[in-house]
Amino acid sequence: MAFVYVDYPPEFRDLLAKIMNDGFMAANTKFPSFEGFRYSSAVFVNWSADPLVYNEEVFNNFVRESTRFESWDDMVRTAADEYFQAKKPS
């Protein structure tokens, strides 16, 4: 089992909340909000902890089953790309 340890300071928490907005979540997951995703995945990830610690294989399986993404990393990258592309001046 491979566990992932991720620093989860308030700035990262805020960034995840911004990029995983309701529009992104509704379009790409089975959840209407990131809060719902966190609630449903709390058995895999303690979202209140610093650092986040999770089993990569198990959490990625959850992501695969409940989103259109193959992994948590893929989901985060896509959310960030979409968020920052939308913020780019035309």
- pTM metric for this prediction: 0.91
Cα 66 from Cα 85, distance rounded (Å): 24
- pLDDT of residue 88 exceeding 90, the answer is no
Q: How many CB atoms lie within 10 A of CB 44?
A: 16
Q: Are 21 and 37 in contact (CB under 8 A)?
A: no
The alpha carbon of residue 30 and the mean position of all alpha carbons in its chain are separated, in whole angstroms, by 13
Render pLDDT for 36-72 as a digit per residue (tens, 0 to 9): 999 999 999 999 998 999 999 999 999 999 999 999 9
Cα 66 from Cα 79, distance rounded (Å): 15
Can you give the residue ranges of every domain in the chain? Answer: 3-87
